[in-house]
Amino acid sequence: MKIHRSNIRSRLTGWYVLFLSVILLAHMIVAVSLLSWHLKNQLFHDEIQDLETVEGLLYFDAAGKLLLNEDYHGHPQSKQVLERFMEVLAPNGAVLYRNERLGSLDLGSEPQGSEGQNGYDETTAQLRNGTPVLFVSHVHIMNSRPLLLRVGYSLAPLHATVEETAGIFLLTFPFAVGLAAFAGYHLARQALDPLARMSEQADVITAKQLDQRLPVENAHDELGRMAQVLNRLLTRLEDSFSQLHRFTSDVSHELRTPLAAIRSVGEVGLQNERSPGEYREIIGSMLEEVARLTDMVETLLIISRAEAGQFQLHATQFALSELVEESADLVQILAEEKDQKLSMNLQEKAQVVADRALLRLAIVNILHNAVRYSPDRTPIEVSLSSLAGTTSEQRWVEFDVIDSGPGIPKEEQAKVFERFYRTDKARSREQGGAGLGLAIAKWAVEINGGHIGVQTTDGGSCRFFIQLPVLQSS
């Protein structure tokens, strides 16, 4: 069965009223049935007591006629005596006695062979005048003669009581259902009011108002927990929109610079006639900007594919020290140009399982970052060391690079791994780069199950580190 209403409140009220009506009807049927059974059972026990009383009042007169001592009418229960139906039968079915109330009517059918012989038999019958009766049969031995006694009472008062009770139930049923509907509707409205307020608040939240949150009236009920979940979703959306806005702004800014440089160099080069050598120099400058632009676009494509889950790792087993030496050789030329010395301490020969190409990209970016922002003729320390894990079976290897640069303020250290982020001192545009190297390094390390971070040393320079789980020998 489906109940169609315009809103949840009405549907809840409808279902509540429907189920309550079914429960009330079932209760009425059970209550009336129990009342009928109880009254009938009580009537049966009263008849047994009355029959036992009658057994002591029966006697035969001098002519052998069976009579009932009428003096018993003075007893306080005389009303029951006057209302009873009574007959006494011989074993052959002959009527020996009928009280005045029964008259010429038969109390039941012809006696059965075992009727009343094994206790008190209960029978429901209907007299010829239409009166429903419940009578009890019992065999009584009197003067060595077996007599079948039948004592019964009309069921009309019992039926009247049951019908009256059922009538009261039916009469009050609409009022009970109406009151339940009224109370149920208001309870549903009160219970769903927080949901209505949440929907009103959610309706006004737009992409420019993601800082707003849904009201949480009770954090411990279902609606409160749902509001908290939606608020956490809004927080994630706000962070994503902020990051997207910042990313779009940074990309626009970063793309504008090389494009403007290419245009400026080209326009200046076309203003006057120049020699072939000068044109080659102009084209070379333009190609440098194009190469920078190409690198940045390729890096952005790598990050985009990674965030979309389209990047597949190719993990292999290798010694991290070999990869660090290989990466150091790539930046050695840049270090020699600035007369810098790479001090290597690679005694740790731990084996790791990772994507070698991605990890090399991260290590090269860290080393290149140290060379770029360290002053000329300064040392750069590169080392590998072993770290204990959280359990006795777990072990990590740490790659450290300590440069001689200007350092990074503590409040900005958590931001250096964000895309396009530069600190005022150490990430200026004049030193080149698009601010994507550390972002790529962070992604490459974390996707291989490692950690990356930065600290400022006591001397004011930077210490970048990469931690990776070590392959345990079986």
pLDDT digits (tens, 9 = 90+) for 407-418: 787 777 777 777
For range 45-72, the mean pLDDT: 83
pLDDT tops 70 at residue 71: no
| 3-class secondary structure per residue, 14-70 | HHHHHHHHHHHHHHHHHHHHHHHHHHHHHHHHHHHHHHHHHHHHEEECCCCCEEECH
Residue 77: pLDDT above 70? no
> Which one-letter amino acid corresponds to residue 251?
V
The alpha carbon of 448 is separated from its chain's Cα centroid by a whole number of angstroms, namely 33
| 434 has a pLDDT exceeding 60 | no
CA dihedral 454, 396, 306, 359 (to 10 degrees): 80
Q: Is the pLDDT of residue 92 over 50?
A: yes
Query: Which is more confidently placed, 170 or 430?
Result: 170
Measured in degrees and rounded to the nearest 5, phi and psi for residue 121 equal: -95, 135
Q: What pLDDT is attached to residue 435?
A: 63
**Does residue 372 sit in helix, strand or coil?**
helix
- Which of 111-120, 192-201, 246-255 is the least confident region? 246-255
pLDDT of residue 421: 66
Task: Using a pLDDT cut of 70, give the percent of the chain over it.
Answer: 84
Q: Which part of the chain is CATH 3.30.565.10?
A: 315-469
Residue extent(s) of CATH 1.10.287.130 domains in the chain = 222-307
Residue-wise pLDDT for 102-147, tens only, equals: 888 888 888 877 888 888 988 888 888 888 999 899 898 888 888 8
Euclidean distance between CA atoms 215 and 194, whole angstroms? 8
Tell me the C-alpha distance between 82 and 102, whole Å. Answer: 10
- Assign domain 315-469 to a CATH class: alpha beta
Pair 89, 96: CB distance under 8 Å: yes
Q: What is the pLDDT of residue 374?
A: 87
Which class is domain 8-160? alpha beta
CB atoms within 10 A of CB 317: 10
Q: Residue 208 CB: number of other CB atoms within 10 A? A: 7
Euclidean distance between CA atoms 443 and 446, whole angstroms: 5
CATH no. of 222-307: 1.10.287.130
Question: Could you give the residue range(s) of every CATH 3.30.450 domain in the chain?
Answer: 8-160
- Per the rule left: phi > 0, alpha: psi between -120 and 50, beta: everything else, 34 is alpha
DSSP assignment of 78-131, as one string? HHHHHH-EEEEE-TTS-EEEE-TTTTT--SSSSPPTTTTTTS-EEEEEE-TTS-
Q: What is the mean pLDDT of the chain?
A: 81
pLDDT digits (tens, 9 = 90+) for 368-419: 888 888 888 899 999 999 887 666 667 899 999 998 877 787 777 777 777 6
Q: Give Cβ neighbours of residue 408 (< 8 Å, ≥ 6 apart).
A: 416, 423, 425, 426, 454, 456, 462
Quote the pLDDT of residue 430: 47
Of the pLDDT bands very low, low, confident and very high (cuts 50, 70, 90), residue 42 is very high
d(Cα 133, Cα 124) in Å, to the nearest integer?
6
